[in-house]
A = this chain, B = another copy of it.
Amino acid sequence: MTEAPIKRESVSDQLFAVLRDRILSGRLPAGSALTAERDLAAEFGVNRHAVREAVKRLQQARLVEVSQGGRTRVLDWRASAGLDLAFDVAQGNAVFAGLQRDAMEMRACIGADAARLCAERRSPETAAAIVEAAEAYGAIGADLAALDTADVALWRLVVAGSGNLAYLLSFNTLVGGAVASGEVPLVHRTAELLDVTIRRRLAEHVAGRNAPAGTLS
Residue ranges of A at the interface with B (Cβ–Cβ < 8 Å)? 8, 10, 12, 49, 52-53, 56-57, 60-62, 68, 78-87, 95-96, 98-99, 102-103, 105-106, 109-110, 113, 117, 156, 160, 163-170, 172-174, 176, 179
Name A's interface SS: helix
A74 to chain B, nearest CB (A): 16
Question: Which single residue of chain B is at the shortest CB-CB distance from A160?
Answer: B78
Q: Which residues of B contact A87 (CB under 8 A)?
A: 62, 82
Given the interface contacts A57-B56, A86-B166, does A172 sit within 8 Å of B81 by beta carbon? Answer: yes
A102 touches which of B52, B57, B160, B166 (Cβ 8 Å): B166
Query: Which of B60, B78, B106, B172 touches A166 (beta carbons < 8 Å)?
Result: B106
Can you spell out 24 A-B residue pairs with CB atoms less than 8 angstroms apart?
Answer: A8-B68, A10-B68, A12-B56, A49-B49, A53-B53, A53-B56, A56-B56, A60-B60, A62-B87, A80-B172, A80-B176, A81-B172, A82-B82, A82-B84, A83-B83, A83-B84, A95-B165, A96-B165, A102-B164, A102-B165, A105-B113, A106-B166, A106-B170, A170-B170
Bound-complex Cα distance A103 to B164 (A): 8
Would you give the shortest CB distance from A46 to chain B, in whole angstroms? Answer: 14
Distance between Cα atoms of A8 and B83 in the complex (Å):
27
- Contact A105 B52, CB 8 Å, known A82-B84, A82-B87, A83-B83: no
Is the Cβ of A169 less than 8 Å from the Cβ of B56?
Answer: no
Distance A71 CA – B105 CA, assembled complex (angstroms): 38
Contacts of A96 in B (CB 8 A): 165
